[in-house]
Structure 1
């Protein structure tokens, strides 16, 4: 007995010593960040929270910091929570070329999307990425073009009422439903309801709309960062109600389709196109193992999250830029009119011919990146030109600041689609334009999103002339996606 107690005491002493040493190491690192790395002035208790600002102030501060700190800078959220923002393109390249996991802030999404492609790391992420890559092959994306055309026609018919009235309206409300409709039809080909027509009358649509707002609200209220406080709050209860609706819908669809495959085999897939769910059900790893129903649910919900508001943001800001700069809108329209002169729909072959339209979409995403921030948590120590970043640190790539960095983009506040002409694009660093991130953890669905935006824009400007509401207040809000605080108010007129 005495021997057992001796061993137990020794283990406790070792554990306690390691804990103390770990804390000492972290405190020394905090002191190093405070005294040796550059950054804006901070309050002793609140850190940089009072000076960061919100909305447009925050955006302008970010751009100013990129000018003031050419390599990196440190922000403190309170006295003990540092965040390192990279501004040097070589440092950004180093982190994005790695497979470092997402920062803990993304864990706010975990109960919804689980440990899928977005949140997983290490071998699990690598395996999942390899299994899902075929889902975004060109042959699969080609089959989705008619889906986007069909949903675009529904959108245009609804917008025709606004054009007839001659009144401005917030396009984000509709575009968000548009992208959700496209995703549902591409994920579940037997999905028959229309998000645009039903709006929030559909429980699934209501849940997706509701849940996508909550992580942003939770992030802004520090007490809700603590899980048990959040779960007991009205917002937390609402979040988990949405999660139940979304999980039940996905599980029901997965079970139904798996049963069809078992009973009917490949004959059950004899439909217009193979959807995302079909691909997940048939995916196999190197050992011939497929995904479980829970793993499929994780990837379906990740697909809905990553492709919904992000694409909607990109589309809305592109429409805003085309409305604000009518000369570029006219160039796009001439290109589209030539392609659609004798037909109603955009074809797969047309997508590569929408050259100027693509340039305008990319320039819009440079100025207004749909995902303005990427954060990673380091799994190892890094030394970047003498700056020491310790394992466990959260580093951020501020895409909005990066896309407005005058060292990379001359005259960055000017809307100039020619930056993305074939000739000029050759001179770009591959990590200069990163709306879909870059490196091995880049957005797996970026071609899907670009195709969707090109088709939607083509249909819209082929029928309508777009103008900015003269009373439009364009104040950006930086969150999970880049939003307009007061919406994006546009006015349409039929051609």
Structure 2
């Protein structure tokens, strides 16, 4: 009798819940697959939908690259999953990504996860469509024109030189990734939003911390309850908005503003007035926050990767210095300008190779406007589509020895058979990154100042890289800097 009671207890407390859980997972999978369009004969992509309701979101958040690598190895270049509350198809490979990026407004439309839309806001460039997107993009592009970039160069040089000087004077090791975020944040605040240097010094620590918190919770479950990721992200966002609002009000009251250079924030304010739109403080704050995110988080990631790759490849540093010497670039009075920067071809290739291996943004989000076919599979209407930048670079046949850091590969002209969608660190199509040229100028100046002033050693060797939401080293890249000796 005791044995039968024990068996019954075991079945009820352990076996039955497991069976019910497995049945629930299977029913969830069947329910999700029923979302396929019966009018389309093509099958859904292979894959799995994960746990009921939360899908595979937690696995992605916790494992990131490991999860994505496992999925690619198991299912190939197109597979289905369930992320951030929506059935999703993940896509990689030049031909597949080409169809997605060129299908904007016809097959797909941009749609970031609900948490991203909630935190960044609905009026940001990445979330608006049609005429509104066109007008915002046009306004921001004026802030990244050739003339505007020329105006930014002295500010970038000043900030980079100051940062490198601090690193050289440091007796202990420098944690490169946090330092890069501070540096790029100051540059973005000054150039994109027009903050005064003294104002940045006053608010820098609190603002950087708030941005850290906001970005950390950007991709989270869309549940706004106390202590949830979304709740913390919104709280940090609101603090950032309060500081940006102070600066906007200052700009409105500044009677001499017409005589000054127009930063990106001012361009957005001017554009709103020219288009006869009612002034919306919330819309401007959201756009400014997006500019700060795009203008400093991605460049901080890439600058950190540059320090890492160059620290691991001293021969590349020697070639960089040789190019600077040949072009007459030095620290004794050489004023950088757009023309000089454009002549630094090898320097540009170092940046391109860094972006190939470690693109700061891993991909982009879209939603299917209608059911369509992609490489033999159906993408149902209403499903999310994620195109992968990092995986597309990994599977591209045009990059032999893809594990090796070889900037020279970009010195040659691309072959006629290579697709321009094999290399997409800035995305593509009508949604290509508007700050692409700004990023290139900033990173070239960074490399010039870094290599002419310093030598450095990575104290932990090659780091493990993680994504959240941009690529970064888990150990923050501890590095020892020393003065570069030209002898």
Q: Structure 1-normalised TM-score?
A: 0.80
TM-superposed deviation, 1:55: 5.1
Match of 2:25 in 1: none
SS in 1 for 2:209: helix
SS in 1 for 2:395: coil
CA contact (8 A) 1:372 1:479 kept: no
> RMSD across aligned C-alpha pairs, in angstroms?
3.2
SS in 1 for 2:378: strand
Match of 1:482 in 2: 471
* CA distance in 1 between partners of 2:55 and 2:266 (Å): 49
Match of 2:390 in 1: 400
CA contact (8 A) 1:405 1:412 kept: no
Match of 2:270 in 1: 282
Q: Deviations over 1:29-78 (max 9, x none)?
A: 35989x9344357767686679877255335436635xx625x1223459
CA contact (8 A) 1:96 1:438 kept: yes
Are residue 39 (structure 1) and residue 42 (structure 2) matched?
A: no
Q: 2:246 aligns with which of 249, 252, 276?
A: 252
Change (3 A) 1:31 1:44: farther
Q: 2:119 aligns with which of 111, 134, 137?
A: 111
Q: 1:140 aligns with which of 148, 157, 161?
A: 148
The equivalences for 1:82-481 within 5 A come to 82-97=87-102, 98-99=104-105, 100-105=108-113, 107-162=115-170, 165=171, 167-193=172-198, 201=205, 203-216=206-219, 219=220, 224-226=221-223, 230-233=224-227, 235-260=229-254, 264=255, 267-271=256-260, 273-283=261-271, 287-289=275-277, 292-338=280-326, 339-341=328-330, 342-343=332-333, 345-424=335-414, 428-469=418-459, 471-472=460-461, 474-481=463-470
TM-superposed deviation, 1:482: 1.2
Match of 1:6 in 2: none
* CA distance in 2 between partners of 1:108 and 1:51 (Å): 18
Match of 1:493 in 2: 482
Q: Which structure has more helix as a fraction of its residues?
A: 1
TM-superposed deviation, 1:118: 1.4
TM-superposed deviation, 1:459: 0.3
Q: Deviations over 1:278-319 (max 9, x none)?
A: 222222588554753333222211100111211110111111
SS in 2 for 1:465: strand
SS in 1 for 2:382: coil
Structure 1, 134-143 or 455-464: larger mean CA deviation:
134-143
CA contact (8 A) 2:109 2:368 kept: yes
Are residue 61 (structure 1) and residue 99 (structure 2) matched?
A: no
Q: Structure 2-normalised TM-score?
A: 0.82
* CA distance in 2 between partners of 1:421 and 1:289 (Å): 46
SS in 1 for 2:466: strand
* CA distance in 2 between partners of 1:62 and 1:25 (Å): 21
SS in 1 for 2:110: coil
CA contact (8 A) 2:218 2:230 kept: no
* CA distance in 1 between partners of 2:481 and 2:417 (Å): 37
- The alignment covers a number of residue pairs equal to 446
TM-superposed deviation, 1:422: 4.8
TM-superposed deviation, 1:398: 1.5
Change (3 A) 1:199 1:491: farther
TM-superposed deviation, 1:173: 0.7
TM-superposed deviation, 1:191: 1.5
* CA distance in 2 between partners of 1:492 and 1:215 (Å): 33
* CA distance in 2 between partners of 1:92 and 1:481 (Å): 20
SS in 1 for 2:137: helix
TM-superposed deviation, 1:236: 4.6
Change (3 A) 1:128 1:434: same
Match of 2:15 in 1: none
TM-superposed deviation, 1:494: 1.2
* CA distance in 2 between partners of 1:42 and 1:69 (Å): 16
* CA distance in 1 between partners of 2:275 and 2:164 (Å): 47
